[in-house]
Amino acid sequence: MTARRLSGKPVADEIRAKTAHMVENLNRDGFKAKVAVLLATKNEATAWYVRSIERAAAQQGVECQVLQMPEAGQDQLVAAITALNEDKSVHGIILQTPLPEGVDTAALVQLIDPAKDIDGANPLSLGRLSVGQPAFAPATARSVVEILEHYRIPIAGQHVAVVGRSAVVGKPLAQLLLQRDATVSICHSRTAQLADFTRPAAITVMAVGRANLLTSQEVADSSVVIDVGTNVDEAGQLVGDVHAASVQPKVRALSPVPGGVGTVTTALLIWHTVQAAAKVCESIMWRGEPMTTCR
Amino acid sequence: MTARRLSGKPVADEIRAKTAHMVENLNRDGFKAKVAVLLATKNEATAWYVRSIERAAAQQGVECQVLQMPEAGQDQLVAAITALNEDKSVHGIILQTPLPEGVDTAALVQLIDPAKDIDGANPLSLGRLSVGQPAFAPATARSVVEILEHYRIPIAGQHVAVVGRSAVVGKPLAQLLLQRDATVSICHSRTAQLADFTRPAAITVMAVGRANLLTSQEVADSSVVIDVGTNVDEAGQLVGDVHAASVQPKVRALSPVPGGVGTVTTALLIWHTVQAAAKVCESIMWRGEPMTTCR
């Protein structure tokens, strides 16, 4: 026996289809969705990632404006975010990390208008999510839920072990799962016996960033395992937090790395942008104003 | 054998002593801490609670201004919160619930300046807490941690079952415990088998508001149990979420109801107010301005 492969491709395809449908509606109303990416690093891996966002936007007829600001200081970044908040033609803002040294990231993300915070970077978004108010979750956290829901894996009433407590994955994911009535155990590097949580769990999500941490020892036959890790091993290969060779033959289902969660995140960023745009569009129509007021 | 009684009184006493010391320092600098309570209900139980805050403030030499606004509407409450945010003599703001029917509580709490949000009502406070930025937690959630720390009950590396996922207790408490390196399981009404989590847990916190829910069946001999519940039973008595008669003879330690968590919260609200005032005081001194600039 081998685990069912929870590929990200059909999940992303489904999101792209929803997005396309909504873009069509928006265009019919003379409305164009737009995402802005603040890029303040010359890091090549980051530039590659931002190009993948640009490509995804272009494919869906969504505008993508990349603001190249390498070595920008705090004041310039504050000004840039403030301008994007005020720019009615921009519906989504991504403040791409890493930021230049010496920049106060916490102060910057808190400036992002929650209505445009399509990657859930502002702690207000996380707080709103936690108390059940409308907010965008970080795309990676949200991708995990999209995969589970696409493959009809029950969440309500299930025990989910979330391994990792980062602000971008573990913590917002725990909130998304609680919203869906899961019982959530949040584990991390200080958890004494990981297996005490992952073995009884119906679903285990690995999001710690340690290559091959989860082995067949820590999972049950009935486990569904979602791998959020993206690590580069000694051979230069992209590997997850799950030791796939040992886990795959044992468990019920496993999302691969690459080809799993990572495949979904970019599609979600564009989907969030289009959702944010639709909300603006709705409120303009509600007020009976012409669409041109938003440009 | 019977459980060690984790009384709230010495915990509150310790907090009051810290508060008194800080008030003394503030007064020496010609500075007076002040908390404002917005009271928009005529509910007698609520009025009683607010009087207990007034008394606690008075005992510590902290000003307490209660704004009686029964039946106030949204606009009046928005105006009141905005004025308190701007009032430099006010360091802590409590928007007391329940609010009049028809009022949008979510919109109101989001207005409270996080620096004055001493009961952690603004979701931004919860978000900031979650990502490890300075913020006040709701006093009840914080009380649980104060009790554990006062009685030197280890948290780091321990499994804590938090039963309840409210925005005022369960969710912020989970964040406070994660900060302290606990492995946290968040359980609730949809958790299939509560005992699966509470029996193996080193610490169980009950915060669901269901009288006598936790019995000896769901705990181990080694359990430490904190009872946040305040329910009124058929005989009109205040009882917790823990069936104390069956749990007390079995477990290692138990916080009583009444006399446990509830005893600590008011002291914490005043402590938070004084902390907020001290921060303002510090920044004034830092800028080299006279203390009178803050009145």
Closest-CA residue of B relative to A105 is: B133
Across the interface, whether the CB atoms of B133 and A178 are under 8 A apart is answered: no
In a domain, A5, yes or no: no
Mean pLDDT of chain B: 95
Specify the long-range contacts of residues B117-120, CB closer than 8 Å, at least 24 apart: B117/B93, B118/B35, B118/B91, B118/B92, B118/B93, B118/B94, B118/B269, B118/B272, B118/B273, B118/B275, B118/B276, B119/B94, B119/B269, B119/B272, B120/B168, B120/B172
A30 has a pLDDT exceeding 60 = yes
Q: B-chain residues within 8 Å CB-CB of A187?
A: 183
- For A77, the token pair is 């970044």
Segment A118-142 shows an average pLDDT of 97
A93 has a pLDDT exceeding 80 = yes
Q: A-chain residues within 8 Å CB-CB of B185?
A: 183-186, 197
Across the interface, whether the CB atoms of B126 and A122 are under 8 A apart is answered: no
A294 has a pLDDT exceeding 60 = no
pLDDT above 90 coverage of chain A, percent: 91
Instruction: Note the pLDDT of residue B285.
Output: 79
Mean pLDDT by 10 residues, chain B (295 residues): 94 98 92 96 92 97 97 96 97 96 95 98 97 96 98 98 97 98 97 97 97 97 97 92 97 98 97 96 80 56
Whether B160 and B205 have beta carbons less than 8 Å apart is answered as yes
Give alpha helix (H) positions in A29-104.
44-59, 74-86
Q: A-chain residues within 8 Å CB-CB of B162?
A: none
Same domain? B162 vs B234: yes
Same domain? B153 vs B238: yes
B191 is in an annotated binding site: no
Same domain? B102 vs B37: yes
Instruction: Note the pLDDT of residue A292.
Output: 59
**In this structure, what DSSP letter does residue A200 have?**
T
A230 is in an annotated binding site: yes
Same domain? A214 vs A277: no
Instruction: Note the pLDDT of residue A281.
Output: 87
Across the interface, whether the CB atoms of A190 and B196 are under 8 A apart is answered: no
What are the distances in angstroms from CA A42 to CA A38, A63, A66, A231? 12, 22, 13, 21
pLDDT single digits (tens) A249-289: 999 999 999 999 999 999 999 999 999 999 998 888 788 77
**How many Cβ atoms sit within 10 Å of the Cβ of residue B57?**
24
Tally of domains within chain B? 2
Across the interface, whether the CB atoms of A133 and B125 are under 8 A apart is answered: no
Same domain? A217 vs A276: no
Run of H or E including B93:
strand B92-96
**Where is the domain boundary, B73, B97, B113?**
B113
Q: Which of A124, A187, A197 sits opposite B124 (nearest CB)?
A: A124
Across the interface, whether the CB atoms of B197 and A187 are under 8 A apart is answered: no
Identity of the amino acid at B210 = R
Run of H or E including A70:
none
Same domain? A166 vs A224: yes
Domain at A172, CATH number: 3.40.50.720
Same domain? B109 vs B149: no
pLDDT single digits (tens) A46-83: 999 999 999 999 999 999 999 999 989 999 999 999 99
In a domain, B216, yes or no: yes
Same domain? A197 vs A239: yes
Same domain? A103 vs A169: no
Q: How far is A124 from chain B (nearest CA, A)?
A: 4
**Where is the domain boundary, B95, B113, B131?**
B113
Closest-CA residue of A relative to B175 is: A171
Q: How far is A276 from chain B (nearest CA, A)?
A: 19
Across the interface, whether the CB atoms of A183 and B187 are under 8 A apart is answered: yes
In a domain, A11, yes or no: no
In a domain, A24, yes or no: no
In a domain, B150, yes or no: yes
Q: Put the strands of the sheet holding B63-68 in their side by side order.
A: B63-68, B34-39, B92-96
- Which residues 6+ apart lie within 8 Å of A56 measured at CB? A266, A267, A269, A270
A interface toward B at CB cutoff 8 Å?
106, 110, 122-128, 130-133, 156-157, 159, 165, 167, 171, 174-175, 178, 181, 183-188, 190-192, 196-197, 200
What is the rounded distance in angstroms from the CA atom of residue B188 to the CA atom of residue B166?
9
In a domain, A68, yes or no: yes
Q: How many helices (H) and strands (E) does chain A have?
A: 10, 11
Mean pLDDT of chain A: 95
Same domain? A252 vs A146: yes
Same domain? B204 vs B245: yes
Across the interface, whether the CB atoms of A131 and B178 are under 8 A apart is answered: no
What is the rounded distance in angstroms from the CA atom of residue A136 to the CA atom of residue A140?
11
Segment A92-119 shows an average pLDDT of 96
Domain at A43, CATH number: 3.40.50.10860
- Mutation target for A interface from B122, B124, B199, B204: give the one with most A CBs within 10 A: B124
B164 is in an annotated binding site: yes
A116 has a pLDDT exceeding 90 = yes
Segment A14-37 shows an average pLDDT of 95
Closest-CA residue of A relative to B174 is: A186
Q: How many interchain CB pairs under 8 A, A with B?
A: 106
Instruction: Note the pLDDT of residue B192.
Output: 94
Range of the domain at A43: 31-115+266-287
In a domain, B190, yes or no: yes
Same domain? B107 vs B167: no
In a domain, B3, yes or no: no
Q: How far is A189 from chain B (nearest CA, A)?
A: 9
